[in-house]
Amino acid sequence: MEKMMDYIMIGVDCSKPAEAALDVAIDAAKRYEARLLIISVHNSPSVPLLPGMPPYPQILTDFPTLSPKVPGDIAKEVGDLLKEYEERARKAGVKNVESKIVTIWDKVGAGLVIEAERRGVSLIIIGSRGLTGLKRTLLGSVADFVIKNAHCDVWVVRR
């Protein structure tokens, strides 16, 4: 019999809500004896395909070889934090844990959804800052995007 959740992905962004979601992800991975992927998505600004044309970031997300590079300072800082999170998960008893920085031309939420589908994860866990009203309309919501577009279950941690 296949386990209900055998591969869990947690999206982190160095925020307090992401830290809370990481605790939930570690607990879930232990409970279900699941693999845990700790992921941080770095998005690059959209660029036009041709001068004078609007940006088309979604087209570029379909071609992984065209993914932008993470700037060295960000790769170092985020990479160190991801390794720290991996160690935290291992100390808590998660046996199979890895981390990754993903780059994308599109929204952070799109990076999470695309990587989750590529990897075949069974659950995405994500923190929420709890933006409402105008701020949410102007800034968007990564959690909202993931909920609407993910192929698998999504667990939003709101604390």
Q: What does the pLDDT read at residue 82?
A: 94
CATH number at 7-45+55-157? 3.40.50.620
Q: What does the pLDDT read at residue 74?
A: 77
Residue 11 identity (one-letter amino acid): G
Q: What does the pLDDT read at residue 131?
A: 56
Q: What does the pLDDT read at residue 154?
A: 95
Q: Where are the domains of the chain?
A: 7-45+55-157
DSSP secondary structure, the chain, as one string: ---S-SEEEEE--SSHHHHHHHHHHHHHHHHHT-EEEEEEEEEPPP-BSSTTSPB-HHHHHT-GGGPPPPPHHHHHHHHHHHHHHHHHHHHHT-SSEEEEEEEESS-HHHHHHHHHHHHT-SEEEEE-----HHHHHHH--HHHHHHHH-SSEEEEE--
Q: What does the pLDDT read at residue 1?
A: 36
Q: What does the pLDDT read at residue 106?
A: 74
Question: Could you list the pLDDT tens digit for every one of the 159 residues in the chain?
Answer: 345 689 999 999 888 889 999 999 999 999 999 999 999 998 765 554 555 544 544 444 444 444 567 777 778 888 999 999 999 999 999 999 999 998 877 788 888 999 999 999 999 999 987 655 544 444 457 888 899 999 999 999 987
Is the CB of residue 64 less than 8 Å from the CB of residue 40? no
Q: What does the pLDDT read at residue 72?
A: 79
